[in-house]
């Protein structure tokens, strides 16, 4: 198992401190204090320093920590700042440069999950390799599907690498947000779909459509646009089986990211292997890696936030 962090060369983001169930982060010019249930330790900086540095602090509604799930809340402004602003992600690979619009939402999110940067790098690198191989063979442009795609940084990474990208989310507002990120990043041509992810994957399976790259970052709980229910524990394995049916058997990759508490990298890897019958029937070679995505604050405290499984074959 590997633990991966965003590159310290990312100038528009840093986690300054963490502890007492909060994290202090800088996004561009603004510093935010947000709840973080996994920050079980003490803060390194005194509270007075946090207060003097912070532009805005998220105040959760009742039951945030006790229920173990996200609750809506409000942002308390400490200093003057914009409601919306942009940051830049300049990756470690030439051509991976993303412009991401941020905003203060009622669920403590701001439109980007910084710990996902290593996944963006993986997606860009693998997609670019597939695109270059396709050009050599005069083959069609590789297709990448991003399920549960949110505001689209992973979609942009695949598009920047030259793929034919389909971006799917069940919430119209975040798809609109993602489209804005595409345009401000100087990209175009992403296919936008507002639909239930399971319903779409099953339909693609019936149609016999396949993709060379599939990205999925499912929530613990969710709803499709027509009220379809998603519960990670009950639906994930079936979703992965659908993904296995629409992922090209050769020259392809898949990225699975999970935030649910209690899920381990080993569990995720076993789920992928069993759902896709890896090494059992088709005889195709593959490589699989799993680990944790984490942030490390300026005092060296590591904050694990999600687990990933990456498959290439």
Share above pLDDT 70 across residues of the chain, in percent, rounded to a whole number: 96
Q: What is the pLDDT of residue 68?
A: 45
List, for residues 151-183, the tens digit of each pLDDT value. 999 999 999 999 999 999 999 999 999 999 999
Q: Cα(265)–Cα(253) distance, rounded to whole angstroms?
A: 18
What would the CATH number be for the domain defined by 2-103?
A: 2.60.40.1180
Q: Which helix (H) or strand (E) holds 266?
A: helix 265-275
List, for residues 87-122, the tens digit of each pLDDT value. 999 999 999 999 999 999 988 999 999 999 999 999
Q: What is the pLDDT of residue 107?
A: 86
CA dihedral 193, 74, 21, 297 (to 10 degrees): 70
In 3-state terms, what secondary structure has residue 36?
Answer: coil
Instruction: Please check the confidence at residue 283 and state whether its pLDDT lies above 80.
Output: no
- In the chain, which residues fall in CATH 2.60.40.1180? 2-103
Mean pLDDT over the full length of the chain = 94
Q: Taking residues 283-298, what's their average pLDDT?
A: 92
DSSP type of residue 59: E
Q: Taking residues 270-293, what's their average pLDDT?
A: 88
Task: Name the CATH topology of 114-312.
Answer: Rossmann fold (3.40.50)
Q: By the 8 A CB rule, do 56 and 77 touch?
A: yes
List, for residues 29-76, the tens digit of each pLDDT value. 999 999 999 999 999 999 999 999 999 999 987 554 444 455 689 999
Q: Cα(272)–Cα(266) distance, rounded to whole angstroms?
A: 10
Q: What is the pLDDT of residue 245?
A: 97
Token pair belonging to 242: 């659908």
- In the chain, which residues fall in CATH 3.40.50.150? 114-312
Q: By the 8 A CB rule, do 230 and 224 touch?
A: yes
Q: Cα(15)–Cα(119) distance, rounded to whole angstroms?
A: 18
List, for residues 208-230, the tens digit of each pLDDT value. 999 999 999 999 888 899 889 99
Strand order in the sheet with 73-77: 13-19, 22-27, 30-35, 56-60, 73-77
3-state helix/strand/coil string of 101-147: EEECCCCCCCCCCHHHHHHHHHHHHHHHHHHHHHHHCCCCCCEEEEE
Q: What is the pLDDT of residue 20?
A: 98
Smallest Cα–Cα separation from 129: which of 252, 32, 211, 246? 252
Q: Cα(100)–Cα(112) distance, rounded to whole angstroms?
A: 8
Length of the chain: 313
Q: Cα(21)–Cα(42) distance, rounded to whole angstroms?
A: 9
Predicted TM-score (pTM) of this structure: 0.94
Distance, CA of 174 to chain centre: 13
């Amino acid at each position: 198992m590997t633990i991966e962090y965003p590159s310290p060369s990312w100038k528009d983001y840093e986690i300054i401190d963490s502890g007492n169930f909060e994290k202090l982060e800088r996004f561009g010019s603004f510093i935010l204090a947000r709840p973080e249930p996994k920050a079980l330790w003490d803060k390194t900086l005194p509270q007075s320093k946090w207060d003097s540095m912070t532009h805005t602090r998220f105040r959760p509604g009742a039951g945030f920590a006790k229920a173990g799930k996200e609750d809506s809340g409000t942002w308390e402004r400490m200093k003057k700042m914009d409601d919306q602003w942009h940051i830049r992600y300049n990756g470690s690979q030439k051509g991976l440069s993303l412009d991401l619009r941020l905003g203060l939402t009622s669920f403590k999110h701001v439109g980007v999950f910084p710990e996902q940067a290593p996944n963006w790098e993986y997606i860009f690198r693998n997609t670019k390799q597939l695109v270059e191989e396709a050009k050599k063979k005069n083959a069609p442009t590789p297709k990448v599907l991003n399920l549960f795609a949110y505001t689209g940084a992973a979609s942009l990474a695949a598009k920047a690498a030259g793929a034919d990208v389909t971006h799917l989310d069940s919430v119209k507002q975040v798809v609109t947000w993602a489209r804005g990120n595409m345009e401000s990043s100087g990209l175009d041509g992403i296919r936008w779909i507002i639909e239930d992810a399971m319903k779409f994957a099953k339909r693609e399976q019936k149609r016999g459509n396949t993709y060379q790259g599939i990205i999925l970052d499912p929530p613990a709980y969710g709803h499709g646009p027509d009220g379809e229910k998603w519960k990670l524990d009950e639906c994930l394995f079936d979703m992965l089986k659908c993904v296995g049916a629409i992922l090209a058997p050769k020259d392809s990759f898949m990225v699975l990211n999970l935030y649910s508490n209690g899920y381990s990298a080993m569990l995720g890897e076993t789920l992928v292997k069993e759902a896709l019958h890896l090494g059992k029937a088709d005889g195709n070679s593959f490589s699989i890696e799993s680990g944790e995505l984490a942030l490390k604050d300026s005092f060296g405290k590591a904050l694990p936030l999600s687990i990933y499984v990456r498959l290439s074959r």
